A = this chain, B = another copy of it.
Amino acid sequence: MSKKDIKKRFGLAIKHRRQELELSQEELAFRSGLHRTYISDIERGFRNPSLENIQKLAFALNISMSDLFANYGVESDE
């Protein structure tokens, strides 16, 4: 399993899913209870989010964590 920077991959997955739902970073921040700048940092791969924050993001993006990891290139090159 490739260990390419997981933070970057995760950030791209969040951005991809957010855009799919046509949400702004502000709306995702509001839904997830996280700060907008944190969302921006996540999407640029600058953060190493905790399990609880991953759950908040997935919940706000209306997707399971397993689907988010499996279907948005987090663990494999899509």
Interface residue ranges, A against B (CB under 8 Å) = 1, 3, 6-7, 10, 48-52, 54-55, 58-59, 64-67, 69-70, 74-75
Contact = CB atoms under 8 A, between A and B. Distances in A.
Contacts of A74: 65-66
Interface of A: prevailing SS: helix
Contact of A51 (B48, B58, B59, B64): B48
A50 B10 CA distance: 12
Contacts of A66: 65-67, 69-70, 74-75
A30 B55 CA distance: 27
A7 B51 contact: yes
5 contacts: A3-B55, A48-B52, A50-B51, A66-B67, A66-B74
